[in-house]
Every structure is written in structure tokens, then in C-alpha cells.
Structure 1
Amino acid sequence: MNEDTTAAAPHGQGSQWYDTEAGPLVRPYAVTGGRTHPGPTGVRFDLIALVTLDPAAPSTDGTGLGPEHRVLVDLCRTETQSVAELAAGSDLPVGVVRVLLGDLLELGRVTVSRPVPPAQLPDERILREVVEGLRAL
């Protein structure tokens, strides 16, 4: 009988946790500990919500954070990112990113803001009048 000796290796080829094309396989619910909601924060993490590292957050070396949390923190370190951008940059499903962001928000590591809705933006006509008034000066 010919046995595959690589099947016993946790991350080797032939393992149930490894795919030669995709790499290591971990189910999304394992990353979030089975949670599907971002926690009791009450913040909605829709796709266009903007996530920024909180400058007032105590600087830590990432202890207590999982590797996926650290990836999200690193992505936000350079600039504000939307939830959709974080999901694409971290190669994680949006649902997982929302749960992880809820953790980071509760730890005070990130802040979440919403872009200005188009209905609250100034009317284009008013802006044109302001520009024309400035030109007339």
C-alpha cells in the first residue's frame, strides 16, 4: 500500500489544509471565531465606510491581535481605506473584515467615518456662483 507521507504535514502538499493553487485554506468562520456580527459597537461597516487608524490609540506592537487584524492595521497605516478596499487588500471576505474591524474599533485602534452623502453636498449652482464671484474680484 502506497501512503502519501505529506498528508500528515499540517501545511504540506497533500494536506487537507493546503491547496497547491490557492495556498493554505482557512475557513472564514475560523478567522472570526465563528462570529458573524462586528460586535456591540452599533457601527455599520458598509462597503464605503472609511476606516482610519486612531492617532490617539496607544501604540502597541500588535500583541493581542491576530495576523488578520495586523494586516488590516497595516493597510490603514498609510492612508484611510474603505471597507471594500480593506477586503480587497487583505484578500478576506467582506463579512470577515467587518467582524475584524469591529474588534479593532472596540480596542480603540481605528475610527470609522462615513463619506458625505451626495444629498448633503453643496448645490453645484451655488458653487458656480461662488467661483464667478471670486473671478469678479
Structure 2
Amino acid sequence: MTGPQDELWLDDDAGRLVRPYTVSNGRTQPTAKLDLLSMVMATGRVPRAHLEPDHARALGLCAGPTTVAEIAAHLKLPAVITKVLLSDLVDCGAVSTRAPGSAADSTDRSVLEALLDGLQRRL
């Protein structure tokens, strides 16, 4: 999903040439409460403002219900930066979120192992 403009910011050996905090404009606190296991899905609403490339990529990954952790893995960004990007998309109405169910305890080892297994199969 990289376009010609993305080639300037990616290096095959080094990876992303832009520091993660620049992707979020230096912000480290998302405006929406998101957990790694929160489900995110596109609403179909088109944001009024022009989307930055990372916002557009994140929105593209939200076509179906997807966890924040999966989106972070696909974007190859830290979870906190991904949460900031997704909260921007929530704020403009482009995505909706659903908190993980009570059965999804983020400190439960079996839940974490299942999440890791799912991510490894997708990547």
C-alpha cells in the first residue's frame, strides 16, 4: 500500500525514515480511549479534511472490524502512535470503536497469547 510519495520516507534496510512522533505531530495522548484489543471499523463517512498518508493507511485497514494491535502491526508503528492516529479518525467520524468485552482481560496470558498467535498468522 505504498505510493510513489511514500518511497521518500521508506528505506529497505532502515525502514521508516520519519520518526513516529512526527506522524502524530508530537502528540502521545489519544483523544479517544483505546485499548490494544479495542475493535475499530470504518463508518463509511469521508473526513472533511485531507488525510495524511498514515491516517489514510490506518483507515484503509479498518474496512472490517480490526483490533488496534493489528493496525499497529500493519503500520509498523508503536501502539501509542497508532492510537493517536485512530483517535483522530474517531474524532472526524471516519471510524467507530468498540471496547473489548469483559472476557478480553488485557492481562490474561491466554488472551495475550491468542492475540500474538493471530498477529503472527496475519503477518
TM-score, length of structure 2 as denominator length:
0.69
Residues 1:45 and 2:34 are matched in the alignment: yes
Partner of 1:36: 28
Identity value in percent = 39
- 1:92 maps to which of 68, 77, 82: 77
1:108 deviates by 0.3
Pairs within 5 Å for 1:57-136? 57=45, 59=46, 64-77=50-63, 79-118=64-103
Question: Which of the two has higher C-alpha Rg?
Answer: 1
Query: RMSD across aligned C-alpha pairs, in angstroms?
Result: 2.3
Supply the distance in 2 between the matched residues of 1:83 and 1:69 (Cα, whole angstroms).
13
- Once the two structures are TM-superposed, the CA of residue 73 in structure 1 deviates from its matched residue by 0.7
Over 3 Å counting, the alpha-carbon distance change for 1:107 and 1:90 in structure 2 is same
Distance 2:37 2:16 in 1: 29
The structure 1 segments of at least 4 consecutive aligned residues displaced by more than 2 Å after TM superposition are 17-20
Cα contact 2:11–2:17 (8 A) shared by 1 = yes
**For the residues of structure 1 that align with 2:98 and 2:26, how far apart are their CA atoms?**
26
Give the corresponding residue for 1:27: 19
**DSSP-derived class of the 1:118 partner:** coil
Match in the other structure for 2:113: none
What is the SS of the residue equivalent to 2:33? coil
* Alpha-carbon distance, 1:49 to partner: 0.4
Amino acid paired to 2:13:
E
CA gap of 1:33–1:85, structure 2 versus 1, over 3 A, is same
Distance 2:81 2:11 in 1: 21
In 2, Cα distance between equivalents of 1:29 and 1:18: 16
- TM-score normalised according to structure 1 size: 0.62
Gapped runs of 5+ residues in structure 2?
1-7, 105-123
